[in-house]
């Protein structure tokens, strides 16, 4: 006997749940890639992406995952030997820094831990000390998917400006775009990267780099700008074929069109609000279950918590057992703990994550939390029963 048949909820922080509308839009023959509807579609997609990113500047589409977008963004602004300041609030900033190093950059990581925010005074201080302006870019991750910490990006901009420093502000929004408020132009972000498979609800395989005129001016002299990653080819192609520097990712583009239409129909602000409320429901459940016990959220300050993913400290080595139970017995797939060792506990087993991004409703979240509560009991993780009721109260009050 199994209770896991039925529609599975993939509650990992990416890829997220793909809407049927998106999947259906992709289920078609490839179109002509030289003229006709696909050629007309691409400028429409670029406009839709810019709306979601809250920018009036440029958006380049790449056929790659988030890691590819990291490299694409850096290749357009770095020269070998350039210094890069990485602000780490979890695992992903380190990953982006490694890509910078791979391109020949000199990488300096400022680690703020996994439970507090970026200390902008430290950032400012470091930039003021850089009198020769050797630091070419400051790299930050809006939502770190491992720690589930959200950084105040606007405050980082203020810190750079207060230091009177010309470094570009580059931001990874892979786990936050179309999940929570992000204002590229208002916040003064020069370069932003994201992927298709999280808030944008489209299968993994395409990624996006948004950049403004300041960043494009740096691109003029960037020694790393290679032909394939050059963003100019993709935003001002001499022929349509060069939008993608080769064959377009045809089905993905149809999927993305549908996803962007869904976001536009709901309204971006409403999408953000939905994520916020569903996140609050998740937090309420875990705070109730945890009580004073060892089970707890990784981020204790609610104002620093992401609205798209929640990292949990299981308080015992049974985190992995819980994930297995939920997946095999009940059809709910939870995320593994990421960068768990740095959370202060030695084993991955002590941690897990709940992804709550993209195509997600109250009933899905309440179902997931009910499943987790059953799992906590089944595998014997100590908790105060009733977390689902606390989550239901959040939903009832908001809806």
Ligand X SMILES: *Cc1c(COP(=O)(O)O)cnc(C)c1O
Taking the least distance from each CB to ligand X, the nearer of 160 and 306 is 306
CB of 357: closest distance to ligand X in angstroms?
9
Kindly give, in sequence order, each residue whose CB lies less than 8 Å from that of residue 6, ignoring residues fewer than 6 positions away. 331
* Contact predicate 289/373, CB 8 Å: yes
Taking the least distance from each CB to ligand X, the nearer of 10 and 374 is 10
Taking the least distance from each CB to ligand X, the nearer of 14 and 375 is 14
CB of 228: closest distance to ligand X in angstroms?
17
Taking the least distance from each CB to ligand X, the nearer of 31 and 95 is 95
Q: Write out the E strands in the chain.
A: 9-11, 58-62, 83-88, 106-111, 135-141, 143-144, 149-150, 168-172, 191-195, 207-211, 296-297, 309-313, 332-336, 351-355
CB of 150: closest distance to ligand X in angstroms?
11
Would you say the C-alpha torsion 215, 216, 217, 223 has a positive or negative sign? positive
Taking the least distance from each CB to ligand X, the nearer of 14 and 105 is 14
Summarize as ranges the residues that interact with ligand X (CB under 6 A): 14, 65-67, 92, 141, 145, 172, 174-175, 195, 204
Taking the least distance from each CB to ligand X, the nearer of 48 and 66 is 66
Taking the least distance from each CB to ligand X, the nearer of 42 and 175 is 175
CB of 39: closest distance to ligand X in angstroms?
27
CB of 196: closest distance to ligand X in angstroms?
8
* Contact predicate 151/140, CB 8 Å: yes
Q: Are strands 207-211 and 58-62 parallel, antiparallel or unpaired?
A: antiparallel
* Contact predicate 101/95, CB 8 Å: no
3-class DSSP state of 347 = coil
* Contact predicate 132/147, CB 8 Å: no
CB of 191: closest distance to ligand X in angstroms?
14
Kindly give, in sequence order, each residue whose CB lies less than 8 Å from that of residue 115, ignoring residues fewer than 6 positions away. 147, 149, 298, 299, 300, 304
CB of 113: closest distance to ligand X in angstroms?
17
Taking the least distance from each CB to ligand X, the nearer of 204 and 386 is 204
CB of 152: closest distance to ligand X in angstroms?
16
CA–CA gap between residue 38 and residue 43 (Å, rounded): 10
DSSP 342: G
- Taking CB atoms, the residue at the shortest distance from ligand X is 66
3-class DSSP state of 260 = helix
């Amino acid at each position: 006997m199994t209770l896991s048949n039925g529609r599975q909820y993939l509650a990992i922080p990416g890829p997220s749940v793909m809407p049927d509308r998106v999947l259906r839009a992709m289920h078609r023959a490839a179109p002509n890639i030289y003229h006709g509807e696909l050629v007309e579609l691409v400028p429409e997609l670029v406009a839709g992406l810019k709306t979601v990113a809250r920018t009036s500047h440029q958006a380049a589409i790449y056929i790659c995952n988030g890691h590819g977008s990291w490299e694409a963004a850096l290749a357009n602004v770095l020269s070998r030997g350039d210094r890069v300041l990485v602000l780490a609030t979890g695992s992903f900033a380190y990953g982006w820094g490694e890509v910078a190093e791979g391109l020949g950059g000199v990488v300096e990581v400022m680690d703020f831990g996994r439970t507090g925010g970026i200390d902008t005074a430290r950032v400012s201080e470091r930039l003021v000390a850089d009198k020769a302006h050797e630091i070419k870019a400051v790299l930050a991750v809006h939502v770190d998917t491992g720690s589930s910490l959200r950084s105040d990006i606007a405050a980082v901009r203020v810190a750079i400006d207060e230091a009177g420093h010309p470094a570009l502000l580059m931001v990874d929004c892979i786990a936050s775009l179309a999940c929570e408020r992000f204002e590229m132009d208002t916040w003064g972000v020069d370069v932003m990267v994201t992927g298709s498979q999280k808030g944008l609800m489209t299968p993994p395989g395409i990624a996006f780099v948004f950049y403004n005129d300041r960043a494009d001016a740096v691109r003029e002299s960037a020694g790393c700008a290679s032909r394939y990653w050059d963003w100019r080819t993709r935003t001002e192609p001499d022929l349509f074929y060069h939008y993608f520097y080769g064959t377009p990712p045809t089905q993905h583009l149809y999927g993305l069109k549908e996803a962007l239409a869904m976001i536009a129909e709901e309204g971006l602000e409403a999408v953000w609000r939905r994520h916020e409320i569903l996140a609050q429901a998740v937090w309420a459940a875990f705070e109730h279950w945890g009580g004073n016990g060892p089970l707890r959220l990784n981020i204790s300050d609610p104002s620093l918590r992401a609205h798209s993913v929640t990292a949990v400290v299981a308080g015992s080595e049974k985190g992995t057992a819980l994930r297995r139970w939920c997946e095999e017995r009940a059809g709910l797939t939870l995320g593994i703990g990421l960068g768990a060792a740095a959370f202060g506990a030695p084993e991955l087993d002590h941690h897990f994550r709940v992804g709550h991004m993209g195509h997600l409703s109250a009933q899905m979240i309440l179902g997931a939390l009910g499943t987790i509560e059953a799992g906590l009991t089944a595998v014997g993780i100590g908790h105060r029963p009733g977390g689902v009721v606390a989550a239901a109260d959040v939903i009832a009050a908001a809806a």
